[in-house]
Amino acid sequence: MRVTVLMANRCSATSVSAALEFLECANVLQRFASGGGAVPFEVQSVSIDGAPVTCTGGLRLTPHKALAEVEDTDLIIVPGFMFNILAVLPEMAPVCAWLRHHHGRNSYIASMCTGTFVTAQAGLLDGKRATTHWIFAEQFARHFPRVRLQAERTVTDDGLLLCSAGSTTGSDLLLHIIRRFASPQLAAECSKKLLVDSAERSQTPYMSSQFDKAHQDQEVLKVQIWLEKHLAEPITLEQVAERFALTPRSLIRRFKDATGQTPGQYLQNLRIERAKHLLEGGQENFERITQQVGYEDGSSFRRLFKQRVGIAPGAYRRRFNSQQRGGEG
């Protein structure tokens, strides 16, 4: 399979190097297993004009050739751009045209992390399933409303179009590529040799709710600050509305216009994030944490936590609290 790895200024060096190294690992292991036979991946790298590029962090990478020199390729890997994507996107017009050309010739396109923005900008993901880094999911949805965004997924595969989420989930995508285009056995061997978990994952445990305060409604901002200070107390919509001299209906409308959430949703997200913070940084049992975030019933809050975060509180503590290796489930 002929694979072309894109390089571009301000792209993630990790995305590029991971793609090159995972596919080289697959080739080495296949060559060893077959006693020197053909390898599954023929890999080349390209930049827009064939010149070296400067990645995020300053690392310089030198490609094999320019976009225009690629006549045929079976698979294109688009790297992520970390936190640069919205600034870089206007510069990607030549890449978008190039992706459309090769997609029209039935080339697969695999987009890593925020590289999904580039493929979507090319118009190739309309009506297709895709994912991207959860931090950029809302911006992605606003920019590309016709894409079927599945932000909780670490990998999506919609025929000729594949995507992965955040930086380290690029390994999930690369193992998926090896599994799909070489063999499941080779992907398993790469997973073991590279010490990379091959199990299907979700972005959900890594996501944090967004609490937008960059709006112009000063009354809503006051409500947000008050909710943050009093989240451990019993709170009703009517109580909040009366405190700020608003009707419940007006409060809901203005709050949602300003933040994208109702006051109830906002308060629930605040409480979930506070519980996550307490699990990450302390050793208190979950019943005590439940009380500290304004809930009385530990069982119901445990169910809510698992539903919203994707894993149970004990599993969350074991994953994100460096001092804790046990804990409740």
Note the pLDDT tens digit of each residue in 5-33: 999 999 999 999 999 999 999 999 999 88
Query: Which pLDDT score, from 0 to 100, does residue 199 have?
Result: 57
Query: Which pLDDT score, from 0 to 100, does residue 281 have?
Result: 76
Query: Which pLDDT score, from 0 to 100, does residue 210 have?
Result: 65
- Which residues of the chain register pLDDT less than 70? 167, 198-210, 322-329
Q: What is the CA radius of gyration of the chain?
A: 23
Q: Give the C-alpha separation, 249 to 270, whole Å.
A: 21
- Which burial class, exposed, middle or buried, applies to 169 when counting CB atoms under 10 A from its CB (0-12, 13-18, 19+)? buried
State the pTM of this model.
0.68
* Sign of the dihedral through C-alpha 158, 163, 169, 172: positive
Check: CB of residue 19 under 8 Å from CB of residue 93: no
Residue whose structure tokens are 């959860």: 134
Give residue 297's identity as a one-letter amino acid code.
D
Check: CB of residue 47 under 8 Å from CB of residue 53: yes
Query: How many Cα atoms are found within 13 Å in the side-chain-facing hemisphere of 121?
Result: 21
Please provide residue 122's backbone torsions phi and psi, each rounded to the nearest 5 degrees.
-75, -5
Note the pLDDT tens digit of each residue in 68-98: 999 999 999 999 998 889 999 999 999 999 9
Beta strands 155-158 and 161-164, pairing class: antiparallel
Q: Give the C-alpha separation, 66 to 49, whole Å.
A: 5
Q: Could you tell me the domains of the chain?
A: 2-206 (3.40.50.880), 218-320 (1.10.10.60)
Note the pLDDT tens digit of each residue in 248-285: 999 999 999 988 889 999 999 889 888 888 888 778 88
Q: Give the C-alpha separation, 120 to 129, whole Å.
A: 11
Q: Give the C-alpha separation, 162 to 77, whole Å.
A: 9
Query: Which pLDDT score, from 0 to 100, does residue 170 have?
Result: 84
Please name which of 47, 111, 49 lies closest in space to residue 80, comparing C-alpha atoms.
Answer: 111
At 290 the three-state DSSP class reads: helix
At 283 the three-state DSSP class reads: coil
Query: Which pLDDT score, from 0 to 100, does residue 326 have?
Result: 44
DSSP track, 220-239: HHHHHHHHHHHTTS---HHH
Residue whose structure tokens are 């937008």: 212
* Lookup: tokens for 150: 């599945």
Where are the extended beta strands (E) located within the chain?
2-6, 42-47, 53-54, 60-61, 65-66, 75-78, 108-111, 129-130, 148-149, 155-158, 161-164
* Lookup: tokens for 165: 């989420």
Query: Which pLDDT score, from 0 to 100, does residue 284 have?
Result: 84
Query: Which pLDDT score, from 0 to 100, does residue 188 have?
Result: 87
Check: CB of residue 190 under 8 Å from CB of residue 178: yes
Q: What is the largest CA-CA distance in the chain?
A: 79
Give residue 156's identity as a one-letter amino acid code.
T
The neighbouring-strand residues paired with 217 are none
Please provide residue 203's backbone torsions phi and psi, each rounded to the nearest 5 degrees.
-75, -15
Check: CB of residue 257 under 8 Å from CB of residue 219: no
Query: Which pLDDT score, from 0 to 100, does residue 203 have?
Result: 61
The neighbouring-strand residues paired with 111 are 78, 163
